[in-house]
Amino acid sequence: MTILEVYLEDITKSLIMTNETFLANTIKNVRPFCDTKIKLSDISLEEDGIKKYVLSKLSDYLFHDIPKVINILNGILNTKLEVSINDICNVTITRHDIVHRNGKNKDGEVIDLDRSVSLEALNIVEEFANELRQKLSEL
């Protein structure tokens, strides 16, 4: 799951770094940029200061909240990405329970984690990343 989070962060930043329209869309459509007053002193006067500021603020985001990440990408692209997120969201919930609830779900039940569950989670992560990459390449 951690590798997916890094992948999502890298894709998001890459879109902004390589396309001025995506940078403008981010400022216009993505929080905190679209609804927060920013002091000019927070932005470097060096070349690409605004871009570096946006990228820096995006580094503060956690990229394991898949619906939030898709909303960010929708804002950057200024269009709605049609990707299936149900399975990957279930994987992130399981990951959260393992990491933050000592391997138990909200009801206190121990999560059965074996080789087949791990392999299925890896396949879901790979399928989601491939689908997302495909949708982005179609733009």
User: Residue 108: is its pLDDT beyond 90?
Assistant: yes
**What is residue 121's predicted lDDT score, i.e. its pLDDT?**
94
Average pLDDT over residues 47-61: 88
User: Residue 64: is its pLDDT beyond 90?
Assistant: no
| Percentage, residues of the chain above pLDDT 90 | 71
* d(C-alpha 95, C-alpha 98), whole Å: 5
**For residues 127 and 87, is the Cβ–Cβ distance under 8 A?**
yes
**What is residue 30's predicted lDDT score, i.e. its pLDDT?**
94
Q: Which of 43-47, 63-67, 94-98 has the lowest mean pLDDT?
A: 43-47
Q: Is 83 exposed, middle or buried (0-12, 13-18, 19+ CB in 10 A)?
A: middle
User: Residue 1: is its pLDDT beyond 80?
Assistant: no
**What is residue 81's predicted lDDT score, i.e. its pLDDT?**
94
User: Residue 60: is its pLDDT beyond 90?
Assistant: no
Q: Cβ–Cβ contacts within 10 Å for residue 48, how many? A: 12
Average pLDDT over residues 9-38: 92
Q: Identify the helix (H) or strand (E) that includes residue 20.
A: helix 20-29
**For residues 68 and 30, is the Cβ–Cβ distance under 8 A?**
no
**What is residue 91's predicted lDDT score, i.e. its pLDDT?**
94
